[in-house]
Structure 1
Amino acid sequence: MQVRLAEQMTRAQAMRLKSLSEEAYQPGQYCRSLSSTEAAQRIEALEAEIALADSY
């Protein structure tokens, strides 16, 4: 049985995540070794957090 490694995040995801993590003052959310799925989840969470902060 072969174990398939998770796909690494794309360059576009890395750039978006880095930008959002800086905008949200959470640079720790960015990590080069994230999988594509993990990156997508963090991007979604940061976008929601920024949208909430902007609504005030």
Structure 2
Amino acid sequence: MRLEGKYDARIQLAEQMTRAQVLRLRRLSEEAYQPSQYARDLSFTEAARRIQALEAEIELANSF
């Protein structure tokens, strides 16, 4: 049981967004004028999805 608890904690930590994602998402959300896209409690996957969407939106805006 003890080992299982440690394993669960590792999985939970792996699912949290990284510090790099925090910084990148904060910068991109400000650049895209969408501060609501940034939240500190996102999972790694959700942060990656939002970063990708914001990058695409910024790239599209810059193409005009």
> Normalized against structure 2, the TM-score is what?
0.79
1:10 aligns with 2:18: yes
Structure ranking higher in helix proportion: 2
One of 2, 13, 20 as aligned partner of 2:28: 20
TM-superposed CA distance for 1:7, in Å, is 1.0
Gaps of 5+ in 2: none
CA distance in 2, matches of 1:35, 1:26: 19
Residue by residue over 1:16-50, the C-alpha shift from the partner in whole angstroms, topping out at 9 and shown as x without a partner, is 00000000000000000000000000000000000
Cα drift, residue 8 of structure 1 = 0.6
Q: How many residue pairs align between the two structures?
A: 55
C-alpha distance in structure 1 between counterparts of 2:26 and 2:38, whole Å: 6
Amino acid at match of 1:50: I
Q: Which runs of 4+ in 1 moved over 2 A?
A: 2-6
Q: Which residue of the partner structure matches residue 46 of structure 1? A: 54
The aligned residue for residue 43 of structure 2 is 35
Distance, in Å, in 2 between the alignment partners of 1:39 and 1:7 is 10
Whose Rg is larger?
2
**Normalising by the residue count of structure 1, what TM-score does the alignment of the two structures yield?**
0.90
- What residue identity is the alignment partner of 2:37? Q
